[in-house]
Structure 1
């Protein structure tokens, strides 16, 4: 199954295309060290064992592997077909009420954390097989776990709290600049964990996203994309909204201004038949999109593919955000900067809506391009002294 490592793949695009990481992000005052400390605090209230994994790509060499608690890099051995077991990269995590500090190397990767059981990782000839719990036969299907994505490089640290693939373990991330105040994101409101699942269960047609353990306990809610792919969510759930968008922009123009720091760069969309064509300010057609289906909208791929370029990708990112947030009908100028308009239509990404509703700061990665307009749960600093991962209570 397709796995998307969202944050590390697009950090450069965020800086260049959206200008999202400039304000308040800090300019490196000195060389970023080879490793920085990551303080992991277990405030979960759970008594089961905790396991930590730091997996990713060594930015100095391009090798895939894992880091031990001291931040030392270990390359994965060659995999096989069928996949072979990966070396045990787990780090014993802190008990409930305790903290542990490990070292983060210059990686683009993920920090996984699992409760009660170690995760099962395998290696193919192409590299690491990430957990894919939308597959009922995945060995991690009944394990309670999640992950944070991060990039640490010479320009600083980016670290997120992500629900792009699933909503599961409540946690938050943070970064403390050298001599500065810690920035955090990802904390749920008091009672937010239960409120999210209760709201999703009561939303007609959306309860099928929830996966439970053999004992009946709640494990996670899959993203709408995986819900569509597995049959837990109707494949036509967004069709009515798409049809209304198509009708509106058959006679009106949709204006996309994809770069916040380039307000004069605009693209103009009009629908003709099954195609939405975009022109630039000179009237030249620059790209076209076919009428998207629900999977394309929720995954921001397929018919809404977003290559890492300066035209189609930025337009597609903006469209993806507009469809998921259901703002395309209320504002012909996108992206919509007024978050009061988000998720107000009866047809919308209810999963992302409910995730955002329960966040203390309102920010989340409810879908892949939730960073359009800086609504994502991401912290960055160019001169990081320490990072934080806080595992919060399940209430």
Structure 2
């Protein structure tokens, strides 16, 4: 999986830590009894579109670590061996609902994705290293001209986490939800009325190459907007698009201190960043250097990787998450105490992640996963329950 696609891995690790579980997982008898091996997922098609819909449940089986797919009954099927060049994957598609209808499938204890496509099945292939997922920033990707999207989820002994995501692209609109044991339902990911076209119109009006992120099919169908990291990869956005802001941050903290308090429940754990030349060094309360970051570029900022890599540890990873959020939201110059979790101050600089800014502006609840660590400060489009009765994905109208 591409390093830019972090919500599943990063969120899963963070959530396990939050509930006191290891990555391989142990849990209490109470939690284990509460979550069955599969739960129902109801997919409702309110898109207004007439094409057939295809559903895929792909991921990693948590009990074994095997990659594969689940059928409509929630039965896991491991992928067969792939090849080089890649070989076709088995057809894992599930017939989705027609417009105005719903279908219910069962999802197993997975960390993975539920893909949905309109009008055409997706093309998946297998290499010797596993599944090749769609990468539509590549013009030759066989899924380039298919309208599709996906949700991400983890179902384990501690519960369900399901989110909408725009980390790689903004495309076909949908919302996610979970039914709790008390019968109430929580949902997120829904756009405001007019928000789908509103986003694309706003992106078209943003100078500096941001409109080049939009991909359109030859018949005029708007398919998606690539995330800005992929835009840099394809040349749609200039590699210097964030340089001015990054330079100002480096200049500011060459003469002042950036304080990072990465854990909300541990206010005493703080790290102090100062720039020396091309490096920002972070020290702990004792003055010892705990980690250092080379001056990042736009690709590192948008992807929250490379020069802002975030390993699953308790020092560098949490500091990097905080820096990544501050760069994307352009809060590092206005607040030397990070993370800044107040949305009122986000994206106020002229140099910012305008893709993320415009997505959040169109969400009904303001929440989205517009970059890998959009969960810093709980601004991500995520629902969770420790005893889920049912999950939901609603395919929403295209305005």
The alignment's TM-score, normalised by the length of structure 2, stands at 0.95
Match of 2:190 in 1: 187
Deviations 1:306-342 (A, max 9, x none): 0000000000000000000000000000000221110
Deviations 1:202-230 (A, max 9, x none): 10021010000011221000000000010
Match of 2:82 in 1: 79
| Displacement of 1:60 | 1.3
Contact kept, 8 Å, 1:7 with 1:151, in 2: the verdict is no
> Does residue 377 of structure 2 align to residue 373 of structure 1?
yes
Name the CA distance, whole Å, in 1 between partners of 2:76 and 2:337: 46
Match of 2:72 in 1: 69
Contact kept, 8 Å, 1:286 with 1:311, in 2: the verdict is yes
Contact kept, 8 Å, 1:105 with 1:152, in 2: the verdict is yes
Q: Structure 1: where are the runs of 5+ without partners?
A: 20-26
| Displacement of 1:9 | 1.1
Contact kept, 8 Å, 2:5 with 2:168, in 1: the verdict is no
Name the CA distance, whole Å, in 2 between partners of 1:248 and 1:16: 36
Q: Mark the CA change 1:181 to 1:340 in structure 2 (over 3 Å): closer, same or farther.
A: same
**Number of residues of Structure 1 aligned to a counterpart in Structure 2:** 390
Match of 2:232 in 1: 228
> Does residue 246 of structure 2 align to residue 264 of structure 1?
no
Q: Mark the CA change 1:33 to 1:122 in structure 2 (over 3 Å): closer, same or farther.
A: same
| Displacement of 1:181 | 1.3
Match of 1:172 in 2: 175
What secondary structure is seen at the aligned counterpart in 2 of 1:384? coil
| Displacement of 1:63 | 1.0
Deviations 1:111-143 (A, max 9, x none): 000000000000001110000000000000000
Name the CA distance, whole Å, in 2 between partners of 1:17 and 1:305: 19
CA RMSD of aligned residues (A): 1.6
What secondary structure is seen at the aligned counterpart in 1 of 2:389? strand
The alignment's TM-score, normalised by the length of structure 1, stands at 0.96
> Does residue 123 of structure 2 align to residue 116 of structure 1?
no
Q: Mark the CA change 1:4 to 1:130 in structure 2 (over 3 Å): closer, same or farther.
A: farther
> Does residue 124 of structure 2 align to residue 140 of structure 1?
no
> Does residue 391 of structure 2 align to residue 391 of structure 1?
no
Counterpart among 95, 100, 120 of residue 97 in structure 1? 100
| Displacement of 1:12 | 4.4
Match of 1:24 in 2: none
Match of 1:22 in 2: none
Name the CA distance, whole Å, in 2 between partners of 1:224 and 1:11: 21
Contact kept, 8 Å, 1:32 with 1:383, in 2: the verdict is yes
Name the CA distance, whole Å, in 1 between partners of 2:12 and 2:392: 23
| Displacement of 1:61 | 1.3
Contact kept, 8 Å, 2:53 with 2:118, in 1: the verdict is yes
Query: Bigger CA drift: 334-343 or 189-198?
Result: 334-343
Q: Structure 2: where are the runs of 5+ without partners?
A: 20-29
Name the CA distance, whole Å, in 2 between partners of 1:108 and 1:362: 25
